[in-house]
A and B are shown apart, each in its own frame.
Chain A
Amino acid sequence: MFADLALLAAQEETHEGSCHFETGDCGFPAPSADIFELDPYATFSLFGLEFHITKYVVLAAIGVVLIVGFFFLAFRVPRLVPSRLQSVGELGYLFVRDQISRQVIGKKGEYFVPFLVSLFFFVWVFNLFAVIPAGQFPVTSKLAFPAALSAMVWLIFNYVGIRNQGFVGYFKNMAFPPGVPKALYIILTPIELFSTLLVRPFTLAVRLFANMFAGHLLLTTFTVAAWYLFSSNPFGLIFSATSFILTVVLTAFEMFIQALQAFIFTLLTASYIGGALEAEH
């Protein structure tokens, strides 16, 4: 009986051509990578390079103003008994210091805690723009943003390694980790060099990019499906409502993933810096 009802509903849909109540075509407009291409608000060229001011740039600028403004206002007049804004700022700073820096690097990493705090909050706020109504694009879903952050992290941990262990010593310790039988160095050394110098920045950037890209694509698919399935027959309403509920649930999941990806990015940065500070022993 349900199969008959479903067949009837499908026939009714294709007959009247009212797959959704606005236009008559029945193809599902599946979101693809094109939804990430936005028209720029303004373009200008400087030194022969073209700059496109797209929504991503505007959102990134808003994120910068938010974070810098928040931390500036929180710690402008620091008191021993903190004010409310200062205690919230302290929460953020101490979270990164205790859970990330001290766990992974230890006491030697105090110098890098401000950098890790900035990194964590920048990645998190850039991710959060995916679920904020006016923004709705995760800034980190353009590969340029995670790639730039990852390049910065790569430069920093290589510089820290070269400065702490000497140029030759750093690469020697990276290529020849101690405690390995001599014959294995033939295959271990290229793998170690390749992994540390090339694979690390690549996976750091692509992990963040792919998570945000896939999450945004998923949310868009379910939102478009909720709109597309909305028609007058009861099955359309049920499917549309289910799709909408799934959008809400996936938004909650997406917020968890955003925070997790920011945490992972900072944790791995701390791990790489810690590995560069002292040789493996």
Chain B
Amino acid sequence: MTQIAQVTGSLGSIGYGLAAIGPGIGVGIIFGMGVQAIARQPEAYNIIRQNMLLGFALTEALALIGFVVPFVFGP
């Protein structure tokens, strides 16, 4: 079976790049909606900020797991 195409080099970088798409969109949505919520109701700033940071950390975890996995299952 002849090889038609091959990717060499740092596959970990490609993996991280792909893994960062979803969390990037997710973090944008979280903070965008958080800012909208603060604009609608400024007196709820503290509770909104806490929930924003909670959501940010949960979403960021996925991107960082994508960063770490190439090192764990490394060459």
Contact = CB atoms under 8 A, between A and B. Distances in A.
A165 interface: no
Interface string A98-136: 010001000000000000000000000000000000000
A33 B57 CA distance: 23
B44 interface: no
Contacts of B54: 264, 267
Interface in A170-227: 203, 206-207, 209-211, 213-214
A260 B64 CA distance: 15
Interface in B14-64: 50, 53-54, 57-58, 60-61, 64
B60 A211 contact: yes
Q: Bin chain A's interface residue count.
A: 10 to 19
B68 A206 contact: yes
B53 A203 contact: no
Contacts of A210: 61, 64-65, 67-68
Contacts of A260: 53, 57
A137 interface: no
A260 B57 CA distance: 8
Given A213-B68, A263-B53, A207 B74 contact: no
Contacts of B68: 206, 209-210, 213-214
Going nearest first, the 9 A-B pairs with the smallest beta carbon separation are: A210-B64, A207-B61, A264-B57, A33-B71, A210-B68, A214-B67, A214-B64, A206-B65, A210-B65
Nearest to B68: A210
A261 interface: yes
A32 interface: yes
A203 B50 contact: no
Interface residues of B, number: 13
A99 B61 contact: no
A276 to B, nearest CB: 19
Given A32-B71, A203-B61, 7 more contacts: A206-B68, A210-B65, A210-B67, A211-B60, A211-B64, A213-B68, A261-B57
Contacts of B58: 207, 264
A281 to B, nearest CB: 22
A211 B68 CA distance: 9
24 contacts: A33-B74, A99-B50, A103-B50, A203-B61, A206-B61, A206-B65, A206-B68, A207-B57, A207-B58, A207-B65, A209-B68, A210-B61, A210-B64, A211-B60, A213-B64, A213-B68, A214-B64, A214-B68, A261-B57, A263-B53, A264-B53, A264-B54, A264-B57, A264-B58
B64 A207 contact: yes
Contacts of A263: 53
Interface string A213-254: 110000000000000000000000000000000000000000
Interface in A3-42: 32-33
Nearest to A32: B71
A279 to B, nearest CB: 23
Nearest to B67: A214
B52 to A, nearest CB: 11
Nearest to A263: B53
Contacts of B50: 99, 103
A87 B2 CA distance: 72
A263 B56 CA distance: 12
